[in-house]
A and B are shown apart, each in its own frame.
Chain A
Amino acid sequence: MPNSASLAPMRNFLVMLSFLVLALVPRTSHALEVDVSGGRINPLPIAITPFLVGGGAEEAGATLGEVISNNLGRSGYFDPLPQNSFIEQITDFNQEPRFADWRQIQAKALVTGQVYVDGGKIRVEFKLFDVNSQQQIAAQQFSTSPKNLRRIGHLASDVIYKALTGIDGYFDTQIVFVDETGPKDQRVKKLAVMDQDGFNVRTLTDGSELVVTPRFSPNSQEITYMSIGQGTPRVYLFNIVTRQKEIVGEFANMSFAPRYSPDGQRVIMSLLTTDGRNSNIYEMDLRSRQLRQLTNTPAINTGPSYAPDGSQITFESDRGGTQQIYVMGVDGSGQNRISFGDGRYSTPVWSPDGQYIAFTKQAGGRFAIGVMKPDGSGERILTEGYHNEGPTWAPNGRVLMFFRDTPGENGGPQLYSVDITGYNEQQVQTPGFGSDPAWSPRLN
């Protein structure tokens, strides 16, 4: 179960945390690597041995093992082997493992580690071995306050994931989402932040306003979201550290569907037109407070999302009759429709590597999550059902999170993740119902 923890401001954490790279042995030519290029991935069997503990760090050792094993297992690229299958019991962190024992239980990779308390700080060391080549392929040491233990687990998971897949990890990240409680017709919605594995949930608002569509700023310190409370519904900024709330603009009409620019200097959003019938996309410079109009059609233009290089914007519009996805220049030039399949396309989100746009697709009374290239080609549906909505990308572009709603009076939304291949769908635990997830960038 997620546990509540006091908020550790990111900057303080980074000051406290010191990375000491012990050794990074270059990969040999026959290096161990998970092949993630194809469709269904054969998970790599990995043995994560119990961390050796000293000086009152027993609980910390168990937690680290769980965090790492859970992260790697949930990614779908690894198969953490059960500890009761292990032949060798590691008793000395500095001793060479008996690789034959690990080969015998089919382990391809081996993780050993130790954790001990040192002057009020916790020190964690771990090593990653390629069992077949008998090579150490990564090792790191961390030193931090005990309250950051789970983050160390996530950072270690990122190192292991990258060493074995060649892809940046996404474990040291957070999710902002809407925590939903209460009956369906009087749902209480609160902004909430948690680690990507569902732990450390903190609610940020008191539920007195309806909050929707929160999105992280690039430095993960702020959230932009829409609040429907007293008065005109509007877009706000929320500072996670100071808990200060700030309105983005005192517009005469409703503002909604906000998202930060990749440099964090601007917020793009929809504004309801003066006649109250249409919605157009605007960009606001957060320093100068200058507002620039980017679309101008008698339609619902909404759901804007920047390309990671900031040069283009994708959005949805019903200007052609139904919701479809468009791409335009960051100045509003060259607005071109890119979705042409059957059904309606909405909530486009550009992938962090720029290669894809993820979307919600409605067809035949069902809701799917899919991806297509920014030119509209290569559409692939990743998951489909009664109601799936609102994809968000892990910072490495390999995993998407979205929410799935269930019908009926007692139904409600839950968060799910899925690999970009469409395999490895997983529910993400939240305290109650959860919707509108948005993934943070990497925190380290």
Chain B
Amino acid sequence: MILRNLSGLKIAVALCCVLALTACSKKNTPNLEASNAGLGAGASSPGSEADFATNVGDRIYFVVDQADLTPEGEEILSKQAAWLQQYPGVSIQMEGHSDERGTREYNIALSARRATTAREFLIAQGVEASRISSIAYGKERPAALCDAEQCWTQNRRAVTVITGGARTS
């Protein structure tokens, strides 16, 4: 069901952007954002932030009010772990986020749980714990701005932010 929702979302977003509907921000699609950052998949230099965002994927998504990893989330985190092991000088911060359809304090706690779950998965995959800090943002920093489930889905996320040691592209 989650998979179906997410793939449906991508189609909706792609259509929307082709039609250049202003109601749909380009931030609504992590895929586009990543390729914008990398200026073309594969073109970024290996070990750079752009390489990570484009070729690995810097974020995973969660089900409503859940902090458990989805199969897709585990897949992306596994790729992140492999990349981080390839570039052992890189340090990261795991940001936990929630959608805006909850109360502030609870969302802060929920997003902390999400950051922890994602961080622990990376550690279990062999990334040293000392390389990963984490922070909870609650609902304070949405990535997608519309008022529909398709946006909230993208705001329930954990984002891996490189804080040091990446190569400059």
Contact = CB atoms under 8 A, between A and B. Distances in A.
Whether chains A and B associate is yes
Interface of A: 184-187, 189, 210, 212-213, 226, 228, 232-233, 254, 256-257, 270, 272, 275-279, 300, 302-303, 316, 318, 322-323, 346-347, 360, 362, 365, 387, 389-390, 405, 407-409, 411, 436
B140 A228 contact: yes
A303 B108 contact: no
Interface residues of B, number: 34
Contacts of A323: 103, 106
Contacts of B136: 228, 233, 254, 272
Interface of B: 23, 25, 27, 65, 67, 100-106, 108-110, 112-113, 115-117, 119-120, 134-138, 140-143, 145-147
B145 A408 contact: yes
Nearest to B119: A276
Contacts of B104: 212-213, 347, 389-390, 436
Contacts of A254: 108, 112, 136
A365 B100 CA distance: 12
B143 A185 contact: yes
Q: Which 8 A-B pairs have the closest CB atoms?
A: A407-B147, A276-B116, A409-B145, A257-B105, A300-B109, A279-B109, A346-B103, A302-B105
B106 A256 contact: no
Contacts of B106: 300, 302-303, 316, 318, 323, 346
A303 B100 CA distance: 17
Contacts of A233: 108, 135-136
Given A276-B115, A362-B103, 14 more contacts: A210-B137, A228-B140, A257-B105, A272-B136, A277-B67, A277-B117, A302-B108, A302-B109, A316-B105, A318-B106, A360-B103, A362-B102, A365-B101, A409-B25
21 contacts: A185-B27, A185-B141, A185-B145, A189-B140, A212-B104, A226-B108, A228-B140, A256-B109, A257-B108, A272-B136, A276-B116, A302-B105, A303-B105, A316-B106, A323-B106, A360-B103, A387-B100, A408-B145, A409-B23, A411-B147, A436-B104
A277 B120 CA distance: 11
Contacts of B103: 303, 323, 346-347, 360, 362, 389-390
B108 to A, nearest CB: 5
A331 B100 CA distance: 33
Contacts of B142: 184-185
B108 A256 contact: yes
Nearest to A253: B112
Contact of A275 (B109, B116, B145): B116
A277 B113 CA distance: 5
A64 B103 CA distance: 39
B147 A210 contact: no
Q: Which of A316, A323, A409 has the most CB of B within 10 A?
A: A409
Given A210-B140, A254-B112, A270 B105 contact: yes
Contacts of B112: 254, 272, 276, 279
